[in-house]
Amino acid sequence: MTASDIGDAPGDLTGTVTGTLDPGPDPPSATPTHCPYCALQCGMNVGGRPVTVTPRSDVPANAGGLCQKGWTAAEMLTVPDRLTTPLMRAHLGAPLEPCSWDEALDRIAAEVGRLQEMYGPDAVGVFGGGGLTNEKAYQLGKFARIALRTSQIDYNGRFCMSSAAAALNRAFGMDRGLPVPITDLAQADTILLVGGNVAETMPPFMRHLIDQKAAGGSLIVVDPRRTSTARQADLHLQPTPGTDLALANGLLHLALVEGYVDEGYVAERTSGFDTVHTVINAYWPDRVERITGVPVPHMREAVRMLTRDRVLILTARGAEQHAAGTDTVTAFINLALALGLPGREGSGYGCLTGQGNGQGGREHGQKADQLPGYRKIDDPAARAHVAAVWGVDPQILPGPGRSAYELLAALGTDTGPRALLLFGSNPVVSAPRARSVEERINALDFLVVADFVLSETATRADVVLPSAQWAEESGTMTNLEGRVLRRRQAVPPPDGVRTDLEILSELAGRLSAPGRWSTDPAEVFEELRAASAGGVADYSGITYERIEAEGGVFWPCPAEDHPGTPRPFLDRFATPDGRARFTPVEHRGAAEEVDADYPVYLTTGRVLAHYQSGAQTRRIDPLVAASPDPFVELHPDLADRLGITEGMDVLVTSRRGAAVVRARLTDTIRHDTVFMPFHWAGSGRANSLTNPALDPVSRMPEFKVCAVRLEPALDGVSER
């Protein structure tokens, strides 16, 4: 692997603005900020005329590297179909027409009032996004609870890593993605990466793995596909989709049998090991090989590699996006605990957050069951604290609402919301069983979408509000390390565009909401600090000035003279007794197994050039040129059996829908499994197929495995 592979060089992807909007007055010279996309939050300088992006070398996460998406991020500011005026339908079935901000906001307030008067506060729902700044996520949660007084709020981060969050809370009492600064990875003797293809999803991350390898470290990758990340591994375990939990239990069984369990650590720092020990007895190697397809010698080799001094076990979406996602992550945490890793210098268990502010977005009140500071909404003390900051009676705060998929599935039903306000999300493409979600959205009485373009979801809205983008706004983001960073405004938003904070403030005023509704991110952050004080995710010691001076501050940080917490758990875990908790978990397979009608596993994921629902990246020419179309990746032997050849249009069908995509043959995938990226809408939409079976704890859907059948698409492209 070379430097350009991991994004050091722009090549022909210069990031130069090519859109048609007038970029306005000269921006100041380059402003240091961060990438709009993933949780690595690469540092970049943004500025010039036309606006360009260059990487920052002072940010440890990327240290001078960017991927294609980062290099071209400036083009997003001036995409030709950028919205610069609100749009509204005069009535059901009428087209979206430009209108004034007052007309749009008055209409929203009137419809909210009308529907809540008829059906109660929960008639209006709110759906947020894991890309929103901490300030916006905080304000959106507050808006739902005290302006709308609805319990019906959740966000697309529920689809991203909520299973890891649930498992982290279960084991350690705290959900912080990485337990160490990212630069610690280079010193690890062994890294076990489960279900993460960082070479494609966050390429500059690879430099940390390359440094680790150069220092003599080893990498184990668990993935059903031999991805570009797996190709860098010293050992690649390629299990059947949906069997990671059994693999983790099998590795723990071997660690027990071969005497690798750190008994001193288990006795001093953990509880519940005996209950796990009993369960693990049933995961003898031959049985685990039968379940997972991973050869016993490979499992033995993995366990041996995990017994070195500094070891990190990391999971990502491949382990988490399952109906048993929380238990799957728990199984890997059990393995880490048995080996004595969490809370040991340079070692531990961590989860790789996906979305730009996936970490911060889930800490400050967008989740259905949470208040700011990672507080539980059904905890009386938490309600009293947050209500005092907001200046309201705790009695008016609603209780927990529905999780993301359950909220979407209830839209327009007798018991669900009749209206939805949606910020920073495109569920028509990104939600599982998307055809049905589309129908639920169409059944709403009233839909409001704030976005920078007419996404596939926004085209269905009654009111569309043009909102500012990353380089046009200020705030904070919390990256995958748990480091709170400053997003700085580099350019003004185009005329006619408003920030989400301005939109929420205007709506709160029209709804006569109590409390303060500042449009200044710095003021909102001050309020967030107070609201989070004393919570698990305590930001009260973090200030904009400290972030600037220190290059970011790790939470928890409970006082301004507190150094922040780059390595939590060195002394104690965040549980009441300070011990980490083992929890016994059993393999139970995929929610939908293959059968005679649907004989092949489908797994979904991302590609290098695109991000999430593609609403941003599908508008950027160099990224479209790099990856123009949806596709299905399958093994040549499977293709041969099905009469499918390279480049052929293939009809992929599951019990929930169908998609037509081009065949890509590769021997890097299992014979029984196909892969589809989920960035596209229409007939190539992977989420038309996916299974919304939910994890019972995290309520995360099973994006990573379902049963499908494939056949040549004789009738061309047609969506069912």
Interface with ligand SF4 by CB under 6 A: which residues? 35, 37-38, 40-42, 62, 66-67, 69-70, 202-204
CB of 4 to ligand SF4, least distance (A): 14
- Rounded to an integer, what is the distance from CA 258 to the centroid of its chain? 37
Residues 6+ apart with CB under 8 A from 386: 371, 372, 373, 375, 394, 397, 531
Choice between 6 and 422, CB closer to ligand SF4 = 6
Give the whole-angstrom CA distance, residue 182 versus residue 60. 7
Query: What's the min distance (Å) between Cβ of 75 and ligand SF4?
Result: 13
Contacting residues for 526 by C-beta, under 8 A, at least 6 apart: none
Specify the residue, 17 or 437, whose C-beta has the smaller distance to ligand SF4: 17
Query: Token pair 């580099």 is at which residue?
Result: 490
Q: How far is the CB of 55 from ligand SF4 (least distance, A)?
A: 8
Comparing CB distances to ligand SF4, the nearer of 68 and 683 is 68
The distance of closest approach from Cβ of residue 303 to ligand SF4 in the complex, given in angstroms and rounded to an integer, is 31
Q: How far is the CB of 38 from ligand SF4 (least distance, A)?
A: 3
Taking the least distance from each CB to ligand SF4, the nearer of 69 and 618 is 69
Contact in structure between 681 and 456 (CB atoms under 8 Å): yes
Our CB check for ligand SF4 shows the closer of 54 and 116 to be 54
Going across the sheet that includes 311-315, the strands are 235-237, 218-222, 190-194, 311-315, 348-351
Using the minimum distance from each CB to ligand SF4, give the nearer residue, 13 or 288.
13
CA 503 to each of CA 159, 243, 252, 509, 625: distance values in angstroms, whole numbers, following the listed order: 25, 45, 51, 10, 35
- Report CA dihedral (22, 26, 30, 33) to the nearest 10 degrees: -50
Cβ distance 225 to 200 under 8 Å?
no
CA distance 472 to 470: 5
Give the residue with the Cβ less far from ligand SF4, 238 or 613: 613
Q: What is the DSSP string of 19-34?
A: SSS---SPPPS-EEEE
Radius of gyration from C-alpha coordinates of the chain: 24
Question: Of 519, 405, 423, nearest to 465 (Cα)?
Answer: 423
Q: Provide the minimum distance between the beta carbon of 611 and ligand SF4 in the complex, in angstroms, as a whole number.
A: 6
Measured from the CB atom, the residue of 177 and 372 that comes closer to ligand SF4 is: 177
* Shorter beta-carbon distance to ligand SF4: residue 35 or 255: 35
User: Least separation, in Å, of the C-beta of 68 and ligand SF4?
Assistant: 7
Q: Write down the least CB distance from residue 652 to ligand SF4, Å.
A: 27
> Minimum distance between the CB of residue 255 and ligand SF4, rounded to whole angstroms?
33
* Nearer residue to ligand SF4 within complex by CB, 42 or 681: 42
Closest approach of ligand SF4 to the CB of residue 7, in Å = 7
Strand partners, 311: 190
Written as one letter, the residue type at 511 is L
Degrees to nearest 5, angle at CA 474 with 472 and 480: 110
- Closest CB 71 distance from ligand SF4, rounded Å: 7
3-state secondary structure of 318: helix
Question: Which one, of 550, 546, 504, 505, lies nearest residue 529 by Cα?
Answer: 546
Residue closer to ligand SF4 by CB (options 67, 407) is 67
Backbone angles phi, psi at 556, to 5 degrees: -70, 145
Q: Which residue is nearest to ligand SF4 (CB)?
A: 70
Q: Are 370 and 376 in contact (CB under 8 A)?
A: yes
